[in-house]
Amino acid sequence: MTISFPRGIGTKLLLIVLPGMLVGTVAMFLAFERIDERGRMAALQLRLDNFAITLAAALVKPMWEFDDTTVERLFAATADVPELLEARLVYADETVLAIARGHRADPGFVTTLHKSMDLVQKSPTGDVTVGRLEVAFHDGLVQEEIHSQRAGGLLVLVGSFLLLGGATLIAVRRIVAQPLSRLRDSLYRNASTLTREPLVWQARDELGEVVGAYNQLLAEIDQHNRDIHHLAYHDPLTNLPNRQLLEDRLGHAIAVAERHQRQIAVLFADIDNFKVVNDTLGHKQGDRLLNTVAERIAATVRGMDTVARWGGDEFVLVLETISSPGEAASVAEKLIEAVGVPVALNTTLIRIGVSIGISLYPQDGRDVTTLIKNADMALFEAKGRGRNTFHFFDQAMNNRALRRLDIAVALRHAIAQDQLELYYQPKVDTRSGAIVGAEALVRWRRPGEGIIPPGDFIPQAEESDLIVAVGEWVMRRACAQVLSWRQQGFGDIPVAVNLSPRHFQRERDIDRIIALVEEAGIPPSLIEIEVTESTVMRDPDLAIALLWRLRDHGFGIAIDDFGSGYSNLSYLRRLPIRTLKIDRAFVADIDQGKDGAEIVRAIIAMANALGLGLVAEGVETEAQLRFLRDADCAVAQGYYFSRPLPVAEFEPLLRPSEPPVFAARPILARPLAALT
């Protein structure tokens, strides 16, 4: 058997209060009745006393005078007294003179009251007791009155109980049950609809306080929800919308543009060389830079446009409702101008650039993913075209991207299928014209396509660990070549090998390079590792430690493309460099009347002062060579001497000759075309 209890608090309260009230009321009623009964009985006793006294007084004289007629008359009259049960007149000798009984046959009484009085005649000789009057009253009438009154009282009791119960019911409902129901309904409503509607409440009682606390809780939940929503859809650093929110807004913008036949522009912006700033000045300054750029970008566009942080140093803008592609171009120009204003970081004024790719709805894509992907592709193009510029997406770009993807996939098999080849470009003594070394440069002979230059596949390889495998392959082949030249009697020809920045992100990759050279059985001093400045900037401490490890094993270290990046001299001082390779852009400027000559002179002076070896890259003309030789640059490399050559074409250059192989070149000044 299951007992079910009432669930409502109002009902529970009533179940507690009403029986109490009932018991209380009944107890009070009984107490009143008892008091009333006592009062009535006291009154009855009084009447009995008065009756007995009066009758006794009336009877004394006739009794004294033996006036039986009067005694009889007086006594008979007593029978009419309604409360009388019995009256008895007794002589002094206890002989009963008269008995009078009340009219009621069945008085229905509960109690009888008795009064006995001596009948005393005063005489000059003293008081003489002539007899005794004994009177008994019944309480039948009193009981009748009490009964009839009890019925009325009960009626009043039930009535007032019902009245009080009803009033309590209404009060409990109004004060407790209804407010609680409202609170409950509000809770359910707010929970199911996820709204936070506060409850309007007037009362200042405890429930009012509960509702006040409830409303406050709702407000706090609301605030927390807003915070969570903000965090979920905004970038915590810049407070700009994040990727998720951008995609939502772009999706919405596309839907609106579709309905109203409008154009949208998506601009994918990336800060140029942000990583270098981050690595050299630290992440705190990098964050400051990102915030400054974010503020500047946001200030450049209209309020209705969306600026989001896509991640890292990338921002995406959605320009809703543009009238023509030219409008997107002018926004891009404004962005480049705004971002280009120098920023003070760590007391240093930094000027940064931004590259931007633009895709347009509907011509470049009709959905969020395509528009963003194509803007990103256009950004890649803008970066490739010298940075700090913008570029619109076009279909050819898509084809190029597909080509890059194809190359990245096919390159994975190129090593295993022995499709890579190593070319060698001579390094020449600027005074004697003798070959003093070579740079190993990789080529990919792809079946059906011919030679693919490294510029077309090294960047793809650098996006993954594939470049580490390529680097190891190049190193193994270069070591074998050095050994082979030794064995063929060409002597020790030092070979420079390019290692990409990824190689300096894990110790084990450098340890494999060291092991590989040791296994090859050639002195590591015959291998010069060429790294760019950006290699060191990524994780300076690790890169510097690994370069030292190489140096300690006897490898030569050369800084490639020196001067082209963010040359940080404080890092350079910590590097175990043997050689600086002057970037070919400066060499190209030597005979162009630009600053190149002065820069090259400064680099040469610095290298000589620090006791570093020098190689000038990209020497293409006699004038450049003459300048370099006169400026004291010991070694040069470039098309003026030779393009990178397959080993079969390079080896003849190594054969002993007198004068040295390139000795006549500056003097003969043979046309470049004839040399290549």
Shortest Cβ 655–ligand LFPHGCPZ spacing (Å): 22
Compare residues 186 and 535 and give the one whose CB is closer to ligand LFPHGCPZ.
Answer: 535
Place of tokens 């009238």: 323
For ligand LFPHGCPZ, which residue has the nearest CB? 638
CB of 296 to ligand LFPHGCPZ, least distance (A): 33
Other beta carbons within 10 angstroms of residue 541's beta carbon come to 9
- Give which of 356, 394, 362 is closest to 376, Cα–Cα: 356
Residues 6 or more apart in contact with residue 619 via CB below 8 angstroms: 587, 625, 628, 636, 637, 638, 639, 640, 641
Instruction: Tell the smallest beta-carbon distance from residue 480 to ligand LFPHGCPZ (Å).
Output: 14
Query: How far is residue 338's CA from residue 26's CA, in Å, rounded to a whole number?
Result: 91
Nearer to ligand LFPHGCPZ, 565 or 644 (CB): 644
Shortest Cβ 474–ligand LFPHGCPZ spacing (Å): 4
Task: For residues 648 and 646, give the distance between their C-alpha atoms in angstroms, rounded to a whole number.
Answer: 6
Residue closer to ligand LFPHGCPZ (CB basis): 186 or 637: 637
**Angle at Cα 125 formed by Cα 122 and Cα 127, nearest 5°?**
35
What count of Cα atoms within 13 Å lies in the side-chain half-sphere of residue 78? 30
Nearer Cβ to ligand LFPHGCPZ (451/667)? 451
Shortest separation between residue 642's beta carbon and ligand LFPHGCPZ, angstroms: 9
Instruction: Please state, in angstroms and rounded to a whole number, the distance separating the CA atoms of residues 369 and 378.
Output: 14
Instruction: Judge whether 246 and 253 are in contact, CB under 8 Å.
Output: no
Q: Report the residue number, 278 or 500, with the smaller CB distance to ligand LFPHGCPZ.
A: 500
Burial 295-314 (b: 16+ CB within 10 A, else e): ebbbebbeeebbbbbbeebb
In the bound state with ligand LFPHGCPZ, the residue whose beta carbon lies nearer, of 13 and 587, is 587
Return the number of the residue (139 or 561) whose C-beta is nearest ligand LFPHGCPZ: 561
Q: How far is the CB of 293 from ligand LFPHGCPZ (least distance, A)?
A: 29
Tokens of 339: 């971002």
Whichever of 85 and 461 has its CB closer to ligand LFPHGCPZ, that residue is 461
Least Å distance between CB 374 and ligand LFPHGCPZ? Answer: 27
Q: What are phi and psi of 638, to 5 degrees?
A: 165, 175
Which lies closer to ligand LFPHGCPZ via its Cβ, residue 75 or residue 457? Answer: 457
Neighbour count for residue 52 (Cβ, 10 Å): 19
Residues 6+ apart with CB under 8 A from 366: 254, 258
Q: Is 321 left (phi over 0), alpha (psi -120 to 50) or beta?
A: left
Shortest distance, position 508 Cβ to ligand LFPHGCPZ, whole Å: 18
Q: Quote the least distance from Cβ 520 to ligand LFPHGCPZ, whole Å.
A: 16
The least distance separating ligand LFPHGCPZ from the CB of residue 414, rounded to whole angstroms, comes to: 13
- Minimum distance, C-beta of residue 676 to ligand LFPHGCPZ, in the bound complex (Å): 9
Among residues 437, 519, 413, which one has the least CA distance to residue 476?
Answer: 519
- Alpha carbon distance 647, 440 (integer Å): 10
Q: What's the sign of the alpha-carbon dihedral 532, 534, 539, 544?
A: positive
- What is the smallest separation between the CB atom of 316 and ligand LFPHGCPZ, expressed in angstroms? 30
Measured from the CB atom, the residue of 131 and 437 that comes closer to ligand LFPHGCPZ is 437
Gap between the Cα atoms of 251 and 246, Å rounded: 8
Structure tokens at 630: 């006169």
Residues making contact with ligand LFPHGCPZ (CB under 6 A): 425, 439, 441-442, 453-455, 458, 471, 474, 498, 500, 560-561, 584, 617-620, 637-639, 644
CA distance to 167, 240, 262, 360, 366, per residue, from 321 (Å): 68, 21, 6, 11, 15
Nearer to ligand LFPHGCPZ by C-beta: 343 or 470?
A: 470
> How many C-beta neighbours within 10 Å does residue 366 have?
12
Residue with smaller CB distance to ligand LFPHGCPZ, 169 or 469: 469
Long-range residue pairs from 410-419, CB within 8 A, at least 24 positions apart, any chain: 410/446, 411/444, 411/457, 411/460, 411/461, 411/466, 411/470, 412/466, 414/444, 414/446, 415/469, 415/470, 415/473, 419/444, 419/445, 419/446, 419/447
Q: Nearer to ligand LFPHGCPZ by C-beta: 318 or 452?
A: 452
Give least dist CB 229 to ligand LFPHGCPZ, A: 46
